Amino acid sequence: MLKNDIFLRALEGEALDRPPVWMMRQAGRYLPDFMKLKAKYDFFTRCQTPELAAAITVMPIDQVGTDAAILFSDILVIPQAMDITVEMKNGVGPWLPNPVRTAEDLAKVIVPDVEDRLHYVMEAIKQTKILLDDRVPLIGFAGSPWTILCYAVQGQGSKNFDLAKGFCFSQPALAHELLQKITDTTIAYLKAKVRAGVDAVQLFDSWGGMLGEEDYQTFSWQYMQQIIDALKDETKVIAFAKGCWYALPIMARSGAHALGVDWTCSARNARYLSGGQIPLQGNFDPSRLLSPIPEIEKLAHKMVSEFGTQNYIANLGHGILPNVPVDHAKAFVNAIKSYNS
């Protein structure tokens, strides 16, 4: 029995006095204790050592007081498990030295046995559950197939993922083959996470907003839908597609239990586009946590008053930034928790 299950109750559509709150990337670089571990262990060591991942995952529960934990990991563990080399390069970020751009490249990409290749994730979930001790639910996550393709083809982050999009538009058959391989891997991965103990999963389509409405359906959403179909009866599924306000109408009919929205889509627009019933999650501008604390509190309350306390999970509109003072993050979380309609 969870001591604090407000996050899961919001996903059920229960009437609540205040919304639950968590923050994307809450187990991250704005936390001094995270930075201490970062100084000692490199990125992959942190991801692949269950004790470290579990310790990082519970930091924001202990130190910031969010209503849900999200497993410390990375969306790029999936391409890595598919035999696409992923490195972290100083000053660049993710670096994939052998990007997938030809049929020959694609032939080398495997659909792995995730219980084997990503065993460390499942072990991290089990250790996290022990540390959490039923205080709050645990969220697992994966990148969308499109977002993983973006990195796999581009080879690194990008302002416009021109190479990834060029690959899709000039070699669509190869693109769909890669997307299906990622989808199959992701479904197996998320099912394994559910078996290992996560209470909900979130799909991050971080780069969906690079695509127009029809291309989004073709190259991203149809694969997101496959994943939702495969998971929705086993766990709660939250779909977050940054910049994809135009897709909210179809996302709302997908069977997902909640939809994430970013800060460019107002509560009014998000409720209108999603039909008004499905739980929404978001959408505080992460940069707004750099405002003075009284302004953070004012804006957080305003956000809740606009989304309403029902069918709503308070969150940021994207990941928390490394330069946010912990006190500002706490002020945001406490402002939501003290909301009084």
Whether residue 313 contacts residue 258, with contact meaning beta carbons closer than 8 Å, is answered with: yes
Nearer to a copy of itself, 89 or 108 (CB): 89
Smallest separation, CB 29 to a copy of itself (Å): 12
**What is the distance between the alpha carbons of residues 43 and 178, in angstroms, rounded to a whole number?**
26
Nearer to a copy of itself, 122 or 265 (CB): 265
What phi, psi does 252 have (nearest 5°)?
-70, -20
Could you write out the DSSP letters of every residue in 62-120? HHT--SSEE----TTHHHHHTT---EEETTTEEE-SS---SHHHHHT-----HHHHTHH
Smallest separation, CB 318 to a copy of itself (Å): 8
Could you write out the DSSP letters of every residue in 126-170? HHHHHHHTTSS-EEEEEE-HHHHHHHHHHSB--SS-HHHHHHHHH
**What is the distance between the alpha carbons of residues 273 and 262, in angstroms, rounded to a whole number?**
13
Smallest separation, CB 75 to a copy of itself (Å): 16
**What is the distance between the alpha carbons of residues 71 and 264, in angstroms, rounded to a whole number?**
26
**What is the distance between the alpha carbons of residues 15 and 221, in angstroms, rounded to a whole number?**
30
Smallest separation, CB 259 to a copy of itself (Å): 17
Burial level of 237, CB count in 10 A (0-12/13-18/19+)? buried
Smallest separation, CB 168 to a copy of itself (Å): 8
Nearer to a copy of itself, 206 or 235 (CB): 206
Binding site for a copy of itself (CB under 8 A): 157, 159-160, 162, 165-166, 169-170, 209, 211-213, 215, 243, 245-246, 263-266, 269, 283, 285-288, 290-292, 295, 317-318, 321, 323
Tell me the β-bridge partners of 109: none
Residue 245 per-residue DSSP state: G
Smallest separation, CB 182 to a copy of itself (Å): 20
Smallest separation, CB 333 to a copy of itself (Å): 18
Nearer to a copy of itself, 212 or 308 (CB): 212
Nearer to a copy of itself, 154 or 225 (CB): 154
Nearer to a copy of itself, 19 or 317 (CB): 317
**What is the distance between the alpha carbons of residues 310 and 56, in angstroms, rounded to a whole number?**
30
Nearer to a copy of itself, 269 or 305 (CB): 269
Smallest separation, CB 1 to a copy of itself (Å): 38
Alpha helices in 221-292 (DSSP H): 222-231, 248-251, 267-274
> Residue 23: helix, strand or coil by DSSP?
coil
Smallest separation, CB 236 to a copy of itself (Å): 27
Nearer to a copy of itself, 30 or 189 (CB): 30
Nearer to a copy of itself, 131 or 321 (CB): 321
Which region, left, alpha or beta, applies to residue 65 given φ > 0 means left and ψ of -120 to 50 means alpha? left
